[in-house]
């Protein structure tokens, strides 16, 4: 073994860049604030989420591209961190759009986490290749001392000290206001998402030409944005419906309920439920989905009246083929 190897191993073990460790910890904190039951309903989810989208990936990339302290100054690093984050996150989303996972919370979080940690590891390795005095470090103590001297210089005039105190108070008030807005957000529009997807989880390849008595599958999605827990009832019915262009009216000739189920969702929760069905006769040409909230009409309300009574409704036109 080379005599320099033990020293190199000791240097690798001892080198702990504070900024990269902070990036890794913030990334982990973002994951915890999204998935832990208590934290995901707190303002921490918004705070860490905003940082994860707007700053952290870009900072890790800048750290990997510019490992030396002389490459960029502090303001340039901060500005480029915001700019590259805004560029990288949409590109990751664009790439996910062409994968089977799509643009969803879990794939986006996994991709951003993998990217950030990979760039942080690359930055750590590239800094390790440089002499210790050339590696970039965040000069936290120097920054704090410079800020203290700038704001509370004992040799400054009374006017300058007053302006410095005003600046500190203004920054504190801005931070408090921002924290309040995040912690107590204004209640937005109340609505419910109701949608259907094809078997592959995308808005395509719907089973619109089934054979009689042959099982078909699709996905029913319900998203609660009502600012309260809601127990929804989903109904699926088959219709034989015709349209008269001369009178511009539709007529329902036959109705066949084929399924009914409930799903309870908390606010901001979305659930996608795989669902299977079969069509017993070629006479049916429309598959209707009805969504009810807490109020579900009785069996005496049927046909078009039941559709009109629903909270949300969707349909697929069918061309049923013989078995």
The residue ranges of every structural domain in the chain are 5-138, 139-174, 191-317
Q: Is the dihedral of CA 140, 141, 146, 148 positive or negative?
A: positive
For residue 101, what pLDDT band results from cuts at 50, 70 and 90? confident
Give the Cα separation of 106 and 114 in Å (integer).
Answer: 12
Q: Classify strands 270-277 and 286-292 as parallel, antiparallel or unpaired.
A: unpaired
What residue has token string 């590239």? 126
How high is the pLDDT of residue 184?
62
Token pair recorded at residue 83: 């700019």
Quick one: how far is CA 108 from the chain centroid? 7
How high is the pLDDT of residue 70?
84
CATH for 191-317?
A: 2.60.40
Q: Which of 295, 170, 145, 314 is nearest to 236 (CA)?
A: 314
Q: In what order do the strands lie in the sheet with 312-317?
A: 249-265, 230-244, 286-292, 312-317
Answer whether residue 173 shows pLDDT above 90: no
Answer whether residue 125 shows pLDDT above 70: yes
Answer whether residue 66 shows pLDDT above 80: yes
For the chain, counts of helices (H) and of strands (E): 9, 7
DSSP for 130-189 reads S-GGGB----HHHHHHHHHHHHS-TTS-HHHHHHHHHHHHHHHHHHHHHHHHHHSPPP--
Cα within 13 Å of Cα(167), Cβ side: 11
Give the Cα separation of 85 and 236 in Å (integer).
Answer: 44
pLDDT digits (tens, 9 = 90+) for 247-305: 888 899 999 999 999 999 998 899 999 999 999 999 999 999 999 998 899 989 999 99
Average pLDDT, the chain: 87
Mapped onto helix, strand or coil, the DSSP state of residue 203 is coil
Mapped onto helix, strand or coil, the DSSP state of residue 35 is helix
How high is the pLDDT of residue 276?
96
Give CA angle at 259 (255, 263), nearest 5°: 135
- Asked if 191 and 225 count as a contact pair (C-beta separation under 8 A), the reply is yes
- Asked if 274 and 244 count as a contact pair (C-beta separation under 8 A), the reply is no
């Amino acid at each position: 073994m080379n005599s320099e190897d033990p020293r190199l191993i000791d240097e690798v073990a001892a080198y702990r860049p504070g900024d990269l460790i902070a990036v890794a910890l913030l990334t982990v904190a973002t994951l915890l604030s999204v998935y832990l039951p208590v934290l995901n309903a707190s303002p921490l989810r918004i705070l860490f989420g905003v940082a994860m989208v707007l700053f952290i990936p870009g900072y890790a990339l800048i750290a990997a591209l510019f490992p030396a302290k002389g490459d960029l100054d502090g303001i340039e690093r901060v500005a480029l961190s915001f700019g590259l984050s805004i560029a990288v996150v949409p590109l990751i989303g664009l790439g996910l759009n062409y994968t089977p996972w799509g643009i969803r919370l879990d794939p986006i979080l996994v991709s951003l986490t993998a990217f950030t940690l990979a760039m942080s590891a690359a930055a750590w390795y590239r800094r390790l290749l440089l002499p210790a005095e050339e590696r970039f470090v965040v000069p936290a103590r120097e920054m704090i001392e410079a800020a203290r001297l700038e704001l509370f210089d004992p040799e400054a005039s009374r006017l300058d000290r007053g302006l410095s105190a005003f600046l500190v108070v203004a920054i504190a008030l801005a931070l408090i206001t921002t924290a309040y807005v995040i912690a107590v957000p204004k209640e937005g529009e109340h609505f419910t998402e109701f949608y259907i997807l094809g078997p592959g989880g995308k808005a395509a390849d719907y089973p619109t030409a089934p054979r009689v008595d042959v099982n078909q599958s699709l996905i029913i999605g319900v998203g609660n944005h009502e600012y309260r827990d809601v127990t929804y009832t989903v109904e699926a019915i088959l219709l034989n419906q015709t349209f008269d262009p001369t009178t511009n009216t539709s007529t329902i000739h036959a109705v066949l309920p084929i399924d009914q189920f409930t799903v309870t969702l908390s606010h901001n929760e979305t659930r996608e439920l795989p669902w299977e069905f079969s069509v017993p006769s070629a006479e049916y040409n429309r598959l209707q989905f009805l969504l009810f909230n807490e109020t579900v009409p009785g069996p005496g309300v049927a046909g078009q009246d039941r559709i009109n009574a629903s909270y949300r409704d969707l349909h697929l036109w069918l061309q049923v083929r013989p078995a």
